[in-house]
Amino acid sequence: MDMSALTSRKFVVSGLLILILFAFLVTLPLSFPGYTIVLFSTIFMYVILTLGWVMFSGPTGYISLATAAFFGVGVYTSAIIGIALPLPLVIAIGGAASFCLALLVGALTLRLRGTYFIMFTFGLVELILHFVLWWEVTITGTTGRMVPTVGNTTVYYLMLILFVFLLLTAYLIKRSRRGLALQSIGEYEDAAAHTGVNVTMVKVTTFAISAFFMGAAGAIMATRWTYIDPKIAFNPLLSFMPVVMAIFGGMGQLYGPVIGAALLTYLEQFLITRFPYYYMLIFGIIMLVVILYLPEGLAGLIQKLWQRTFGRKHEVT
Amino acid sequence: MIKILDIVIAGLLMGGIYALVAVGLSLQYGVARVLNVAHGEFIMLGAFITWSLYTLAGINPLVSLVICGPTVFIIGFILYRTVFTRLRTMSASPAAFEGNSMLACFSLLFIIQNVAILIWGAELKGYSYLPFAVNIAGAKFAANRLVTLGFALAIGVIFYLFLARTRLGKAIRAAAQDAGTAGLVGVNINHVLALCFGFGALMAGLAGTLLSMSYEIQPAMGLEYTVIALVVIVLGGLGSIPGSFIGGFILGLVGSIVIYIEPGLALVAYYVIFIVLLLVKPQGILGK
């Protein structure tokens, strides 16, 4: 990325935009009704899952469908230890549990490439889901658990804080040696290994860091749902949605997945309330159209429009 | 002794269906390079068309085989010629095509499932066909399951002969090895790949018809069969038809043993096999 006068002006503009956005987000619960706060918490959930997913899968090209597993581990952590411990600690433990699971999974599987990796991560979610289901039905005898609630505004602020942390982490990783290493793994893994990148190490740790945020988000969301069972916590849809949202938003820039997740979540909520019977149909069609006609996502579209209006070459980092 | 025979035959009966379900997916992934996660939805379509024909028009499910198969084939063929051909020309690399086409299949999954719910409703449905029991060496089995196994085997053999003996079969095998080179030596590659995808859907449709004779059906049933098919093709080796059958029967046997010990753990056992296999021998038992 070149550091010319143009980029510094761009920094000022985008910095101002981000400040305004965060001022709006921080004061939002003061001036909007409960419904909006709940909607924004859901949006944050998907934004965190999507951004976390992009952090690892974006540059490396490894499509992980294990998001639901990491999220669900967080949800269950919250359900099991939520009563005994203070919430921030619960969230940290939920994230840490997912982090450890991801380390284990990563160490086992990241030697798998392409479709085998996708299938493995998908199988993992289903394995955990059915195992927990069986465990609850036959060993403990009850399906589902209650989680103590903390109120919508608290959930909102917790999600906002987690989102800020994730955004900073994602930005720092993208701009660091690790980010470059991930990029080179995505372009040509063997070459990356030959130029001295510790390929397995970089992949596994980044995978685990992204899982931490997914688990923490799960631990927070559990307190909003109050009742959870394996089918809610390990819902495979939570693995697919971040992928669609990331592609819809475009993975080249960090704002892509954020915009993609926010817009699609809003659309999803809108469709569920307005067209409950056609929601999956409409969503599927939108997804198909995006894959077919918008492979670069919204971020790609925005850059194209930017170029057309300002006529300058806008370098993709 | 009777108990063991019981478990083995029950496993083979299940395995026949698993094999048929997997052959279609194996063809779609092995040749057309589409990891069709909506495979189960084609099974569901076959099952529901059969159900409608039987309950509304009184048409024998075995006759429905001739109706369902071609219907689902046409849907699959058209889908490949429109959606997947576009994705194939658009994608930068074969790996990118695999990722994109899998995502497109997820969207098809949503679309087909939702359409089925709109048409047939979300409840469980079933009908009874040949429900009487047949005695095999002292153990009793439902006649419809035996018919299912017989047809599954017959369809598998016919399809294997088609691939091994006909000119089109040869073209398909060539495309499976190297689509680009097959195109260079005069195979109309877009046509052959679309046919393969169609044949895969056809297999799913036939499996759906056979399934509906002995199991209850509902619009959300697809994903479970897709996953089973994935496990079977990983077990038997991607793109191998005998492999799919061997894998199907192995999985059926494992399933029936696990169900005998602890009924709730059958799916868990499948996933454990799947995950261990991917780690230890991802090319499958018949793979090189």
Whether B223 is in a domain gets the answer yes
Q: Is B271 on the interface with A (CB under 8 A)?
A: yes
User: Percent of chain A, pLDDT > 90?
Assistant: 32
| Cβ–Cβ below 8 Å for B111 and A127 | no
| Cβ–Cβ below 8 Å for B83 and A288 | yes
Q: Is the pLDDT of residue A317 over 60?
A: no
Q: What is residue B137's predicted lDDT score, i.e. its pLDDT?
A: 67
Q: Is B95 on the interface with A (CB under 8 A)?
A: yes
Lowest pLDDT segment from A52-61, A81-90, A160-169, B116-125: A81-90
How crowded is residue B144: how many other Cβ atoms within 10 Å of its Cβ?
A: 20
Q: Do β-strands B133-136 and A227-228 pair in parallel, antiparallel, or remain unpaired?
A: unpaired
Nearest to A127 among B87, B118, B268 (CB): B268
User: Which domain range does residue A85 map to?
Assistant: 33-236
Residue A265 vs residues A225, A296, B285: alpha-carbon distances, Å: 17, 19, 43
Closest residue in chain A to residue B35, using alpha carbons only: A115
Q: Is B144 on the interface with A (CB under 8 A)?
A: no
| A149 phi-psi bin (left φ>0, alpha ψ -120 to 50, beta other) | beta
Amino acid at A102: A
User: Which domain range does residue B20 map to?
Assistant: 2-280
Q: Is the pLDDT of residue A164 over 90?
A: yes
Q: Is B110 on the interface with A (CB under 8 A)?
A: yes
Whether A254 is in a domain gets the answer no
- Which has the higher per-residue pLDDT, B48 or A34? B48
Whether B287 is in a domain gets the answer no
Mean pLDDT confidence for A307-315: 66
Q: What is the DSSP letter of B83?
A: I
d(CA B275, CA B234): 10
Residues in chain A within 8 Å Cβ distance of B108: 284, 288
Whether A266 is in a domain gets the answer no
d(CA B245, CA B10): 16
Closest residue in chain A to residue B229, using alpha carbons only: A119
The band of A189, judged by pLDDT with boundaries at 50, 70 and 90, is confident
Q: What is residue A70's predicted lDDT score, i.e. its pLDDT?
A: 95
| CATH, residue B64 | 1.10.3470
Whether A277 is in a domain gets the answer no
Q: What is residue A117's predicted lDDT score, i.e. its pLDDT?
A: 84
pLDDT tens readout for residues B89-113: 888 777 778 878 888 998 899 899 9
Q: What is residue A313's predicted lDDT score, i.e. its pLDDT?
A: 54
Taking alpha carbons only, the member of B133, B164, B168 closest to residue B147 is: B133
Mean pLDDT for chain B overall: 87
Q: Is the pLDDT of residue A1 over 50?
A: no
Low-confidence ranges of chain B (pLDDT < 50): none
| Model ipTM value | 0.84
Whether B165 is in a domain gets the answer yes
- Which has the higher per-residue pLDDT, A33 or A165? A165
pLDDT tens readout for residues A94-152: 999 999 999 998 888 766 777 778 888 888 898 899 889 888 888 887 777 888 888 88
Whether B255 is in a domain gets the answer yes
Whether A231 is in a domain gets the answer yes
pLDDT tens readout for residues A280-304: 898 889 889 888 888 778 888 888 8
Whether B174 is in a domain gets the answer yes
As for how many domains chain B has, the answer is 1
Whether A13 is in a domain gets the answer no
Nearest to B114 among A244, A284, A292 (CB): A284
Q: What is residue A5's predicted lDDT score, i.e. its pLDDT?
A: 59
pLDDT tens readout for residues A243-282: 888 888 888 788 889 999 999 899 888 888 888 888 889 8
Residues in chain A within 8 Å Cβ distance of B111: 280-281, 284-285, 288
| Cβ–Cβ below 8 Å for B278 and A112 | yes
Whether B232 is in a domain gets the answer yes
Tokens of B78: 């058209």
As for how many domains chain A has, the answer is 1
pLDDT tens readout for residues B7-39: 888 888 889 889 988 999 988 988 888 889 899
Alpha helices in chain B (DSSP H): 2-30, 39-57, 61-79, 85-90, 94-120, 143-165, 167-177, 179-184, 189-214, 222-236, 241-261, 266-280
